[in-house]
Amino acid sequence: MSTNLIEFKDVSFRYGEDQPWVLKNVSFTIDEDEWVAIIGHNGSGKSTIAKLINGLLFPQEGEILIDGKKVTEDSIWDIRKDVGMVFQNPDNQFVGATVQDDVAFGMENRGISRETMVERIESTLNAVGMKDYLLTEPHRLSGGQKQRVAIASVLAISPKVLILDEATAMLDPNGRKEIMQTVSGLQDRQGLSLITITHDLQEVVQADRVLVMNGGQIWDEAEPRKIFAKKEELREIGLDVPFVAILADALLDAGITIAHEPLN
Ligand code: ADP
């Protein structure tokens, strides 16, 4: 049976008492092992959701539960151990002088033994396809490679939730493809829930479920194919369905199934 790892119950948030609500009565759940893509145009509230999950912000109304624990100022240090985040700018996420130092860094303060650290450096860099770069200095890596190392560094601390907040936004098409392939490869990791935040519908194709945000509210929530079917309405809220998804859908309607591969 699947478990709710993240639960938003009627959450409302604003950045100050004199500010407008940026999230209003938002409720959703995310299961263990599930990949949920959160999509919406700029300013629709996506990053605010990520910051609320990580306890960088707290809601004025409603409540948020992570693995059954309510997110409060008291519980947040405990909860952050379970939540890993990768952000937009690949250059702001490096702390180590080499790739292996970087992956080791997050583990160093957690009392993890040397032996386990070495194992995890290897297994997480392997999971993101970067095991041949152990001793490489970060500035020698491409943007996509840097983001893959950032993902490995977060995985090394064994989070239950991995959030990628516009992690592909500053990458070229190749880098984006690398990250989407890496993320889909992580889906087999048991017990890891994935949240990818994007404004690009092309990046939600492989997710289990898509949560569409508009004006601080959930506009729709369904599997990718059902979301793509609403292409006219999506355009009205500033989101374009990629041509490849329309084509795949038309083929499916004609009884032709295509392989579930990442879109280029
Ligand atoms: P998205 O990630 O979908 O682009 P955000 O969650 O970043 O949206 O922002 C939602 C709304 O909150 C926007 O209108 C934005 O201008 C506003 N906002 C974001 N950060 C702040 C802040 N630090 N102070 C005031 N308003 C903010």
pLDDT, tens digit, 9 for 90 and up, residues 160-198: 999 999 999 999 999 999 999 999 888 777 789 999 999
What pLDDT was estimated at residue 45? Answer: 97
Question: What would the mean pLDDT of 205-218 be, rounded to a whole number?
Answer: 95
Q: Is the ipTM of this complex over 0.90?
A: yes
Mutate to test the pocket of ligand 1, among 19, 47, 163 (most ligand atoms within 8 A of CB): 47
Q: Are 64 and 8 in contact (CB under 8 A)?
A: yes
Residue 198 in contact with ligand 1 by CB distance below 6 A: no
Structure tokens at 218: 């959930």
Architecture of domain 4-224: 3-Layer(aba) Sandwich (3.40)
What pLDDT was estimated at residue 253? Answer: 74
Stated length of the chain: 264
- Return the percentage of the chain with pLDDT > 70, whole number: 95
Residue 15 in contact with ligand 1 by CB distance below 6 A: yes
Say how many Å lie between the CA of residue 151 and the centre of ligand 1.
24
**pTM across the whole model:** 0.91
CA-proximal residue: ligand 1, atom 22 (nearest): 15
C-alpha 152/C-alpha 107 separation (Å) is 12
What pLDDT was estimated at residue 264? Answer: 45
Say how many Å lie between the CA of residue 47 and the centre of ligand 1.
7
Question: In DSSP terms, which residues pair with 37 in a beta bridge?
Answer: 196, 210
C-alpha 225/C-alpha 93 separation (Å) is 33
CA gyration radius for the chain? 19
Say how many Å lie between the CA of residue 141 and the centre of ligand 1.
31
Instruction: Give, in order, the Cα–Cα distances in Å from 25 to each of 42, 54, 142, 219.
Output: 19, 19, 40, 12
Q: Are 168 and 203 in contact (CB under 8 A)?
A: yes
C-alpha 158/C-alpha 151 separation (Å) is 11
pLDDT of residue 39 exceeding 90:
yes
Question: What would the mean pLDDT of 41-50 be, rounded to a whole number?
Answer: 96
213 CA closest ligand 1 atom index: 3
C-alpha 253/C-alpha 54 separation (Å) is 41
What pLDDT was estimated at residue 3? Answer: 82
Say how many Å lie between the CA of residue 104 and the centre of ligand 1.
33
Q: Are 12 and 23 in contact (CB under 8 A)?
A: yes
Residue 40 in contact with ligand 1 by CB distance below 6 A: yes
Residue 43 in contact with ligand 1 by CB distance below 6 A: yes
